[in-house]
């Protein structure tokens, strides 16, 4: 059966198809998240099944999202994908920098406590993207700076976030052996090795990088979460190995983790609390 063409903007049928505005908004957000998580556009029927929504309601909802530019309809393929409007919203988010504003005072307090530089980073594909850097009076020279991208599987900042992603997403980010470049000749070389590291770091609640980016430097990092328990950013403290013996790293990591937890609370986030469920997300 051919899919109905999207309705014109502003029609009552498209805007009034759901029984309640609040469930409609929740479903619209769920649709956008489902499309964002899929590597390919999806048919309306698949979205309706996945979200347990009547097919007719899904068509109406998609019609509104198409009208608003958040979803694009691919008529030849009978599928839907994310629209340019989502990119525009994301760009606006980056312009306003709310994450950085919320994190800056927390990082400043952490720097005053530990005496080392602190970073705020997010995932950008398979890379760690550094958004914020707060330094002490006499900082250590680092390769990381605002706007710098590094392979996520090599950095504590990146693995702190990768450890809490679904296994399908991790696999999509690292599809082959070519996905595992090195900087110092060390680090995970394939997906099983990366998963082993992620499992260990997820269980301990923080990630550690020891000489994988710069030989004389190490780093600990911990994740912050949104209201869905999704990792959105990591807080990290890099340091010279000679300045901190390895037996002191767990204490530093707890300070970093406390700061990451404070950012989670500022984001009205919810840390994941089901270990068995988290194991399934990584182990499959």
E strands, 125-200, where?
127-134, 149-151
**Average pLDDT per 10 consecutive residues for the chain, totaling 284 residues:** 45 43 85 89 93 93 92 90 81 66 94 94 90 83 74 95 92 90 88 94 93 89 91 94 92 96 92 50 34
Domains (range + CATH), the chain = 12-87 (1.10.10.10), 97-283 (3.30.450.40)
Residue 147: the pLDDT is: 77
pLDDT, residue 38, reads 87
pLDDT at 98: 78
d(CA 30, CA 26): 6
- pTM for the model stands at 0.64
CA dihedral (139, 140, 141, 146) positive or negative: negative
Q: Which pLDDT score, from 0 to 100, does residue 223 have? A: 97
Residue partners of 117: CB distance under 8 A and separation at least 6? 111, 133, 134, 135, 136, 139, 140, 142, 237, 238
Sign (positive or negative) of CA dihedral 32, 37, 40, 46? negative
- pLDDT score recorded for residue 278: 38
Per-residue pLDDT tens digits for 66-76: 999 999 999 88
pLDDT computed for residue 60 by the predictor: 93
Which pLDDT belongs to residue 143?
Answer: 61
């Amino acid at each position: 059966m051919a899919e109905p063409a999207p309705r014109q903007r502003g029609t009552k049928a498209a805007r009034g198809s759901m029984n309640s505005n609040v469930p409609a908004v929740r479903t619209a957000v769920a649709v956008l998240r489902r499309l964002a998580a899929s590597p390919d556009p999806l048919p309306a029927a698949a979205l309706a099944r996945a979200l347990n929504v009547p097919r007719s309601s899904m068509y109406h909802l998609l019609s509104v999202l198409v009208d608003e530019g958040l979803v694009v309809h691919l008529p030849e393929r009978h599928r839907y994908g994310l629209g340019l409007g989502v990119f525009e919203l994301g760009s606006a988010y980056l312009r306003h920098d709310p994450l950085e504003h919320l994190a800056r005072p927390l990082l400043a307090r952490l720097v005053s406590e530990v005496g080392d530089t602190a970073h705020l980073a997010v995932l950008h594909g398979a890379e760690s993207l550094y958004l914020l850097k707060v330094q002490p009076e006499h900082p250590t020279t680092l390769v990381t700076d605002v706007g710098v991208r590094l392979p996520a599987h090599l950095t504590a900042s990146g693995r702190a976030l990768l450890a809490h992603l679904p296994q399908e997403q991790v696999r999509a980010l690292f599809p082959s052996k070519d996905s595992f470049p090195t900087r110092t000749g060390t680090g995970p070389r394939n997906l099983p090795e990366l998963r082993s590291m992620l499992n260990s770091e997820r269980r301990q609640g923080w990630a550690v990088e020891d000489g994988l980016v710069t030989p004389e430097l190490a780093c600990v990092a911990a994740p912050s979460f949104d209201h869905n328990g999704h990792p959105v950013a990591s807080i990290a403290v890099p340091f010279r190995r000679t300045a901190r013996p390895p037996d002191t790293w767990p204490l530093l990591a707890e300070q970093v983790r406390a700061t990451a937890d404070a950012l989670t609370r500022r984001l009205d986030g919810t840390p994941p609390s089901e270990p068995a469920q988290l194991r399934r997300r990584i182990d499959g």
